[in-house]
A and B are shown apart, each in its own frame.
Chain A
Amino acid sequence: MVNLINAPEDTSLRIVDVLGGHGVRRRLFALGFHKNDIIELDSRSILRGPILVRNLTIDTSVALGRGVARKIMVEVIGEKK
């Protein structure tokens, strides 16, 4: 299990857990980010900026601030595309 921030890019990842306070968790759930969804880290912005995450299960992409992204724990399930 690894933190989404440190996960490899363009590789299928499965959400294992969503940590943090219920405020952030609720907003992520509302956007359809749940445990066991398959996601992919598309890109990281420079200067510790946000990261771009594509949710392959529901085919949407979301920008997450580093603080938020750090709360999502994932495990690598696919190889690098």
Chain B
Amino acid sequence: MAKKSNFPDIIFIGQPNCGKSTLFNAIAGLKAKTSNFPGTTVQHTHSEVNIKGEVVNIIDLPGTYSLNPSDPAEKVALTHLFLEKPDLIINVVDASVLGRSLELTLELIELEYPMIVALNMVDLAERKGVEIDIEKLARTLGVPVVPTIASHGRGIKEMLDAALGTLEEGRSAARIKWSRDVEEKIEELEKQLPESFPIVANKRFTAVKMIEAGKLLFDKMLKDINPPLKMVLDKVRNDLQTMHNAPAYEVIAAERHHLALKNFEECCSVRRGKRIGFLEKVDSIIMHRLLGYLILLAVFLGFFFIIFKIGGPLEELLSGPLENLRHSLSIGLGEGVIYHLADGLLQGIGGGVAIVLPYFIPLLFLMSFLEDVGYLARAGFLMDTFMHKIGLHGKSVSPFILGFGCNVPAVVSTRILESRRDRIITSLLIPFIPCSARTTIILALVAFHLGPLWALGFYVFNILLLAVLGRVITFFFKIPSPGLILEIPSLKMPSLKNMMKKTYFQLKSFINFAWPILIAGSVVLGLFQYLNFDRFINIILSPLVEKGLGLPRELGVTLVFGFLRKELSLIMMSDALGVSIQSLMTMISKEQIIVFTVFVSFFIPCLSTVAILWKEIGRKVAFISMALNTGVAVIVSLLVRLILRK
């Protein structure tokens, strides 16, 4: 791959939760998304930064526990590392979990690229009673080690100096030997590597990765292109297996594990003794078998209570001027096509500002709080039992919660799920989660006209339907979910600055991706109204809308084309019925309001969701999702209508 920029490439790589993005943000300004939920930087972010006069290209890769990827986020890290040789690796390490973090450090050293270690969260290590002899660690590893506390911006300058120093010297990390018998076997394979063989980093690293390779695809491919080499590989793997009576990949992983522990013990002293600090006590309560669930319920109720307390008034505040603006626009431009286009554009932009943002920003902020504290991983632990019932596991909790804000970032965040099966099921369920737009509809219609109890009932019904759907969808997947393996990071005090940055970054990705599509959809619908297509479409849809759902025919466009701008279904509805939302009851009955809300909630959420499904998971799943949403919306709203008719 050609080098994108002629500035040196510095990559930040570390295990999930080591403070990599915080460190990255401290240097590169508002770029990366940090959190305390393992695996959050799902896209990798680039930024050109000027450090002491030298411009460098900094890349923050998603967290990875090892260079043998298990989930899609980790694959992003590796393709980058292997395809484009970085000029410098900054391996960010969580000092409070040094024993395990060193395993990745040792693996990175095997690459023999220029590298430094940013020993982050040294304050947390001290609090845990871990004293680290930094000089000794640097000598043992053979790479510079710089202590940092990214969240307080300490040690950043020294780390940058070390980075630039190593960059200039171009001094590569030195290879660290494993036990002799394993080394001999690796050399045996290394010698057989033909010149034409694609080498990653160096011959030894390539040989080790061949031995560790888990993908059957790799073995089959090698058999085809170079059978003798495959024979040597099989012999080396079998020899390792007989020597250590464990599969070859385990022997290699164990070598790194024991070497990391040896380095850890040599360079650190740990004041053992289970010091029950304040955070540990809080943790045991949060994770308590019964108390934990009460707290979880309280946290979620509080979570949504705050969002609506902020979102509601904010939305009223914003939608007022939007209405006046729309009004003055219609006076100014008359009834021509320009008016409809301009009105479509305004509603698209206005829709985003007045309806999505008031709920979305508080939700993102509170989400980042839950993530940074470390509560989200614990919610995943507590929720795993229920998620299991619908064929998923605890790790899908974070995408589901994000779905309440907007389905688009929720689909993106499914990258943290290891198996494609879990990713597809979670992504097929996310469009059924009421996003802020649909929440506004539920509040404005159900809560306003029928009372808050009905609205709460609607939410419960929605979640029950999600569970049933989950059961049904998993039925189609033969392979079971690979089960939950989720690291529970230590509870941390979140930094306000960090949470603000993360909210801003998440918002930016919504604005860049979802909003333009929403505006485009809105303009298209404006055109429909101009060409009075909508009357034509209402006629086509009338059998379903009128006969089936028992709703006034004029609502056809609102119902079906709501997905072009779901945020504005309310305004479309009041336009179609020619009456304001508050005085809706004069036109339609309570039952009709429920049927309408059910359909709108379960129908295709919005164009942006379909687009992100297409981009993230693939075309097939995007179409299946649309069919699923349509089917469920029609069936459920028909059923609801029958039940209410009695």
Please list the residues of chain A having a beta carbon within 8 angstroms of any beta carbon in chain B.
22-32, 34-35, 42-50, 52, 55, 57-68, 81
Asked, given contacts A63-B380, A63-B394, A65-B384, whether A57 binds B261 with beta carbons under 8 Å apart, the answer is yes
| B525 cross-chain contacts in A, Cβ below 8 A | none
- Identify the closest chain A residue to B283 (Cβ): A61
Q: Which of B100, B264, B287 contacts A60 (CB 8 A)?
A: B100
| B247 cross-chain contacts in A, Cβ below 8 A | 22
- Do residues B486 and A62 form an inter-chain contact, with CB atoms below 8 A? yes
Q: Which of A42, A48, A61, A65 contacts B393 (CB 8 A)?
A: A65
Asked, given contacts A58-B261, A65-B384, whether A32 binds B99 with beta carbons under 8 Å apart, the answer is yes
| A30 cross-chain contacts in B, Cβ below 8 A | 65-66, 68, 70, 253
Q: Per-residue CB proximity of B99-131 to A under 8 Å, as 1/0?
A: 110010000000000000000000000001010
B528 within 8 A of A: no
- Identify the closest chain B residue to A66 (Cβ): B483
| Interface CB pairs A-B, < 8 A, 10 | A22-B249, A31-B65, A31-B485, A32-B103, A46-B289, A49-B385, A50-B486, A59-B97, A63-B380, A63-B381
B48 within 8 A of A: no
Give the CA-CA distance A10 to B84 in the complex, in Å. 47
B382 within 8 A of A: yes
Give the CA-CA distance A62 to B378 in the complex, in Å. 10
- Do residues B380 and A44 form an inter-chain contact, with CB atoms below 8 A? no
| B258 cross-chain contacts in A, Cβ below 8 A | 34
Q: Which of B68, B128, B488 contacts A52 (CB 8 A)?
A: B488
| A65 cross-chain contacts in B, Cβ below 8 A | 384, 388, 393-394, 483-485
- Do residues A31 and B100 form an inter-chain contact, with CB atoms below 8 A? yes
Task: Give how many B residues have a beta carbon under 8 Å from the other chain's beta carbons.
Answer: 47
| B486 cross-chain contacts in A, Cβ below 8 A | 50, 62-63
- Do residues B214 and A45 form an inter-chain contact, with CB atoms below 8 A? no
| B128 cross-chain contacts in A, Cβ below 8 A | 59
Q: Which of B70, B214, B388, B488 contacts A63 (CB 8 A)?
A: B488
- Do residues B385 and A48 form an inter-chain contact, with CB atoms below 8 A? yes
- Do residues B214 and A46 form an inter-chain contact, with CB atoms below 8 A? no
- Do residues B485 and A64 form an inter-chain contact, with CB atoms below 8 A? yes
Give the CA-CA distance A34 to B482 in the complex, in Å. 19
- Do residues A46 and B249 form an inter-chain contact, with CB atoms below 8 A? no
Q: Which of B70, B214, B289 contacts A43 (CB 8 A)?
A: B289
Give the CA-CA distance A63 to B388 in the complex, in Å. 14
Identify which of B288, B382, B385 gathers the most chain A CB atoms within 10 Å of its CB.
B385
Q: Per-residue CB proximity of B485-512 to A under 8 Å, as 1/0?
A: 1111000000000000000000000000
- Do residues A26 and B249 form an inter-chain contact, with CB atoms below 8 A? yes
> Distance in Å from the Cβ of B278 to the closest Cβ of chain A?
17
| A57 cross-chain contacts in B, Cβ below 8 A | 99, 261
Which 10 interchain pairs have the tightest Cβ spacing? A49-B385, A58-B99, A65-B484, A32-B100, A65-B483, A30-B65, A67-B483, A29-B253, A68-B483, A58-B100
Q: Per-residue CB proximity of B261-288 to A under 8 Å, as 1/0?
A: 1001000001000100000000000011
Identify which of A23, A27, A32, A34 gathers the most chain B CB atoms within 10 Å of its CB.
A32
- Do residues B257 and A34 form an inter-chain contact, with CB atoms below 8 A? yes
> Distance in Å from the Cβ of A77 to the closest Cβ of chain B?
16
B87 within 8 A of A: no
B190 within 8 A of A: no
